[in-house]
Structure 1
Amino acid sequence: MPDPQPNGARSAAGVAGRVGVLVLLSVVILMLAWVPAAWLERIAMLERAWDRQALGERSATAVLERAQQWSAAQLGAFPIGSETLGADRRGAARRAAVSPAWLADRRTAAARLVELACLRAALVTAWGPALGLLLIAGVLDGHWRWRIRQRGFDYPSPVARQASQTGLALVLGGFLLVLLLPLPLHPLEIPLLTLIAVWLIGAGLAALPKRL
């Protein structure tokens, strides 16, 4: 049977997860506070052009329409405006302490962030069936390599298993950062990162301990 992970490894994984969540929250807060709205608009225009080049006009149009529907629903459900500061005296004091131009730019930037997030979510959804097939292929490949090793004298290395787990965590963290950071995202980066993650999953499954 597979040996259980030691408590030190579990605690380290828990700490790494908390640190990852804090990093993601910090990235979102910094983007809302400092990223110019014009930069986000430029990124969105560039990504739409890349989508048309990489996916074709028909697929790109479907992705863009879905992203527009999602962003309209999100912006309609959670309106972004000065009323979020409050309508009481404290809200009026906060609005008076903030530059109107900066506040307007932040409202526009928040709306552009929602639109950009919906665009990337729609892009991931469009890649979904292909990514699912890749994941199934990676799991089956790792499983059958592990089954073949059960019948031989080739014992898996725990170092390789740990390396695959660490690499997979880094790839998934990088994937989340790529989706969140206000930097241009080419649509082909998503399947490329998925291929790396699938290879690491297969390697990790193949390196599982033997069942004697």
Structure 2
Amino acid sequence: MGQFWFDWIKGRINTLSEVVYQFLARIALLVVWSPYMLILLVPAVYDGLMTWRIKRTNFDYASPIIHSYGIRSIGYLFLAFCVVSFSPFAVSPLVIPVVMMIACILIGFAIGNFQKRV
């Protein structure tokens, strides 16, 4: 009886250690890609700011719907990344940079559609 329990607990501990290893590997991949995402994030933020300033000076419509969808989508991407980071199944290494690129673009859209403050 004891041998069964010890084997089962050993299997659970091994599974937990694999999940922790995969999580740390995915976080390491995120950290490795972070400096390269600045190349996309800085122009996206700059474009968003310039678009917002242009919309402030003329009578373009700053869409609160696009702004809220951008902010929500960034939150959902972050939540999905957290869930996928702890998932025990294999995830392609291209998922992390693609998610980060989409987040950079959504940040630019969200900044470009801030409400006007004149």
Superposition TM-score, scaled by structure 2 size: 0.87
Q: Residues of 2 paired with 1:178 and 1:134: CA distance?
A: 23
Cα deviation per residue 1:10-64 (whole Å; 9 max; x = unaligned)?
xxxxxxxxxxxxxxxxxxxxxxxxxxxxxxxxxxxxxxxxxxxxxxxxxxxxxxx
Match of 2:22 in 1: 116
The correspondence for 1:198, drawn from 99, 104, 112, is 104
**C-alpha deviation, 1:102, in angstroms:** 0.9
| Superposed structure 1 runs of 4+ greater than 3 Å apart | none
For structure 1, the residue ranges without an aligned partner over 5 or more in a row are: 1-95
Cα deviation per residue 1:78-126 (whole Å; 9 max; x = unaligned)?
xxxxxxxxxxxxxxxxxx6x81111010111122222222221221121
Match of 2:56 in 1: 150
Higher relative contact order by CA 8 Å / sep ≥ 6: 1 or 2? 2
RMSD: 1.7
Matched, 1:125 2:43: no
The correspondence for 2:43, drawn from 137, 143, 150, is 137
| Helix, strand or coil at the partner of 1:99 | helix
For structure 2, the residue ranges without an aligned partner over 5 or more in a row are: none
Percent of residue pairs bearing the same amino acid type: 30
Match of 1:165 in 2: 71
Question: Of the two, which has the highest radius of gyration?
Answer: 1
Superposition TM-score, scaled by structure 1 size: 0.51
Match of 1:80 in 2: none
| Helix, strand or coil at the partner of 1:116 | helix
The correspondence for 1:184, drawn from 83, 90, 100, is 90
| Helix, strand or coil at the partner of 1:185 | coil
Match of 1:174 in 2: 80
Counting only pairs closer than 5 Å after superposition, residues 21-40 of structure 1 correspond to structure 2 as none
Aligned residues: 116
**C-alpha deviation, 1:195, in angstroms:** 1.4
Matching residue's letter, 2:69: A
Q: Residues of 2 paired with 1:128 and 1:195: CA distance?
A: 10
Q: Residues of 2 paired with 1:106 and 1:194: CA distance?
A: 32
